[in-house]
Amino acid sequence: MQSLDDLRKQFPDFDQFSDNELLSRVSKAVGMPLEQVAEDFGFKNAAKAPRGVLGAANDTVVNFGNAAIGGVKAGIDFVSPGSRAAAALEGVMESGNQTKSLSTRIADEKLSQALDTSDIGTQLSGVGKYVMENPLQAAAQAAGSFAIPGAAIKGARAAAKGLGFVDDAVNAARSVGPITAEAAALAGNQVLSRAGTAAAMGSGAMLAGGDAAGDAYDMVIRGGGSEEDATRAARAASVAPALIGAIGGRFGAEGALARGGTRSILRTGAQEFATEAIEEGSTKLSANVAAGQYVDGIDHDGCCWFCCAGWYSRWRYRSSSGRDDAPIYDARGV
C-alpha cells in the first residue's frame, strides 16, 4: 500500500502540504471521493476516525466561524464579485477547513455533493443525514449562518424603535379612541415585526444571491474566462437565488425571529430545514448554469497535479489488477 510519504518522495513539491491538505488536493485532482483516497493511502475507516475532544472543539469553532465569514463574503460578492476582500475571506475559510479533522471533512464533502445536485429529494436527504450524523457541527454552521440575518433583524427592530416608528403607531391607534395596554403593545409589535421581516428578507436575498454570484465568478475564472465574463456570470447567477433567499427569509427561522419569540423559531424548525436546503440547491444550480454560458467547467489546477493524478491512477490499477501495464491516465479530463 502506498502512503503519503511515498507520494511526497515522488513529488517533492508536496512537502509543503499537510496530510489533510494533500489528501484534499489529490482527491480533487483525480476526481475521487476524499474518503476513498484517504483509505487508499492507509487511513482505514476514515469517515469514522476518532477526533478527540480538541479535534471536535476545533471543528465546531471552524464551522461556526466559516459560516459567519461566509455570510460576510456573500454580502461582498453580491455587491462586488471577485473583489480582493472576498478573495481574502475565502482564503481564511480555506485555511480553517484544512485544520478540520479528516472525518469532518469527509462529512462536509458528502453534504456538498448532495447539495450540488439539482434534485430536491437528494438535497434534503443529504442535509438530513449530515444533521443526524453530525449534530454539533450542523448546529455550529446554523448558528454561524444566522449571525448576519440575526444582526440585521435586531438592528432593524432597534431602528424602528429609535426612529419613533413604534411610538407613531401607538399614537395613531390612540387617536382613533381609547385603547388598552395590550392593544397599544400589539400596534407597536406589528411595526417591529414588519421591520424585522423586511431585514430578514433583505439579508436572505443578499446571502443567497451573493453565494451564487461568488460561485459563478470563481467557476468562470478557474475555467479560463475573463474577469468581465466572470462578472456577467455572477450577476446572472444571483437573480433567482436572491428571490428564493428573500422568500426563505420571510418564512424560515429568520422570519420567525423577526416576528418575535423563540417559540415561533421552534415551530418553524422543520420549515427552515427545508428552505435552507432548497436555497443551497438553487444557489449551486444557478451558479453552474450561469458559468456554463462562458466556460466548459473544467478546473485545471496545475500540471503537477495532472502528473499526480496519473501516478495515483496507475498505482490503483496495479494494486487492483496485479498488472504492471496500466494505461497512462489523462488528467486533463478531470
Query: Between the CA of residue 324 and those of 30, 199, 291, what are the distances in Å?
Result: 20, 63, 41
Average pLDDT of the residues in 17-30: 79
Q: Looking at the structure, tell me whether residues 283 and 155 fall in a common domain.
A: yes
Number of domains in the chain: 2
Q: Which domain holds residue 101?
A: 4-145
Q: What is the pLDDT of residue 114?
A: 81
The pLDDT assigned to 276 comes to 63
**Does residue 155 share a domain with residue 141?**
no
What would the mean pLDDT of 246-262 be, rounded to a whole number?
A: 73
Same domain? 49 vs 82: yes
Percent of the chain with pLDDT over 90: 16
How high does pLDDT run on average in the chain? 78
The answer to whether the beta carbons of residues 305 and 29 sit under 8 Å apart is: yes
pLDDT 10s digits, 201-240: 999 899 999 999 999 999 899 888 899 999 999 999 999 9
For the chain, what percent of residues have pLDDT higher than 70? 78
Residue 278 lies in a domain: yes
pLDDT at 268: 47
Residue 172 pLDDT = 79
In a domain, 327, yes or no: no
Q: Are residues 12 and 126 in the same domain?
A: yes
Indicate whether 90 and 151 sit together in one domain.
no
CA pair distance 175, 177, nearest whole angstrom? 5
Task: Check residue 224 and give its pLDDT.
Answer: 87
pLDDT confidence of 310, banded at 50, 70, 90? low
In-domain check, residue 82: yes
- Interior angle at CA 67, CA 66 and CA 73, nearest 5: 80
At 311, the pLDDT band (50, 70, 90 cuts) reads low
Is 60 exceeded by the pLDDT of residue 297? no
User: Is 307 domain-assigned?
Assistant: no
Residues 6+ apart with CB under 8 A from 285: 118
Q: Give 87-126 pLDDT, tens digit per residue.
A: 999 999 988 888 888 888 888 888 887 877 767 777 778 8
- Let me know whether 237 and 286 are in one domain: yes
The predicted model gives 236-247 an average pLDDT of 90
What's the pLDDT score for residue 278? Answer: 64
Q: Give the separation between CA 101 and CA 59, rounded to whole angstroms.
A: 7
Q: Categorize the per-residue pLDDT at 261 as very low, low, confident or very high, splitting at 50, 70 and 90.
A: low
- pLDDT tens per residue across span 167-198: 787 777 777 767 777 777 777 788 888 888 88
- The cell numbers describing 210, all together, are 451573493
Whether residues 112 and 190 fall in one domain: no
